[in-house]
Amino acid sequence: PPHALRRYFIHIAVLLFAAIIWAETVTDLKNSPLGTALLLLSILTGATVMAMLFKGQAWCRYVCPLGKVIGAGATMSMIELRATPDLCRSCDTTACKKGRPGLRGCPVYLGAHNIKNSLDCLLCGRCVLLCERESPRLLLRNPFVELLAIKGRDLTCTFIIPFLAGSQWARFIVEDAKYQSLIPPLFGPPALSFSLLLIFCFAVFLGIITFGNRLLGMRRSSLPIHCSPMIPVLTPLAFSGELIYRLKYLLSEAGNFPTVLTRQFGLTIEHFSFVIPASAISLLEILILALGCLGSFYVIALFRQKQSESGQTGFCRSLQILVSSVAIVYFLLIG
């Protein structure tokens, strides 16, 4: 796609992500097979239209909301696919990007030599097959180092992480019995009240990010464009919150899966169903939240180490208190 158009694709992706979260909550999409099917068909339609207009899986790379979330999460992956620069310098075919006769190139038209981070790479391994120099390597790494290297410079993380975390707070709140009995009468229809709540929680996380950047000794005037060091600090917590939200529904219905599966073959075997205790699910949620909090603390420790090496000073203790406060709110909401 043209560069001018690519600049706005991330905004479109965030808006589509917001629309999915809004529709999922307001229409109770998670309990509607028909609604879920219509959502998947609309995504398929969007991908088809983009494929007709642009090459290189433009939908997956630029517009797909799920792709943006997965890309942001890939920055915490323990594996990475990277090229060997010394082997790539003398390459004049760039087969990993363009392909070879009978073999298609990189599905996102990136190529191993252009991979700087894991935001766009699909880890499909096609470049490994195409490269005659055996340059691409699958490597193990510290899962938080890339977060520190990016520092929120990429627009994907800058917009997706605060909205992902803010939408989690909004979704946890809207499912609380007190909210359902109190808020709608005060703020009108459920769709309007949830929209206001979603915007408010998003704004809260933007405020947390701004305040956290100041605690790190950063000021807006001293930051490169789109750079936000607080983004990598919140990323582990944001993905822990999303995992908790999704697992809650998965595990609560997991016991019905054998029965539903056998019914597809005309069988009724009720005694295969089971129930996972609510206490076990709650314990798992707390464990996931604790791991996310530890991940955020580790990123703070990495920042403190880099600051001490460069002679800069930041308020890491205050930042730890801020992250702990966010984690406590998560704990209260999931409880």
Domain ranges of the chain: 1-63, 79-140, 147-334
How many CA atoms lie within 13 Å of 156's alpha carbon, on the beta-carbon side? 23
The torsion angle over the Cα atoms of residues 309, 78, 74 and 57, rounded to 10 degrees, is 120
In the prediction, which pLDDT does 202 show? 93
In the prediction, which pLDDT does 188 show? 64
Nearest to 68 by CA among 13, 128, 108: 13
Q: What are phi and psi of 195, to 5 degrees?
A: -60, -45
CA distances from residue 17 to 64, 175, 277 in whole angstroms, order as listed: 8, 20, 32
Low-confidence ranges of the chain (pLDDT < 50): 152, 221-225
**R_g of the chain computed on alpha carbons:** 22
User: Where are the alpha helices (H) located in 54-94, listed in sequence order?
Assistant: 58, 65-74, 85-88
| Polymer length of the chain | 335
Name 222's Cβ contacts closer than 8 Å, sequence gap at least 6: none
The torsion angle over the Cα atoms of residues 222, 208, 155 and 48, rounded to 10 degrees, is -170
Please identify, in words, the CATH class of the domain defined by 79-140.
alpha beta
**Chain segment 160-183, per-residue pLDDT in tens:** 889 999 999 999 998 887 776 766
Residue 140's SS3 state is strand
Question: What is the pTM assigned to this prediction?
Answer: 0.82
Task: Count the Cβ atoms, other than its own, within 10 Å of residue 12.
Answer: 14
Nearest to 255 by CA among 283, 274, 282, 235: 274
Contact 115, 81 (CB under 8 A): yes
In the prediction, which pLDDT does 167 show? 93
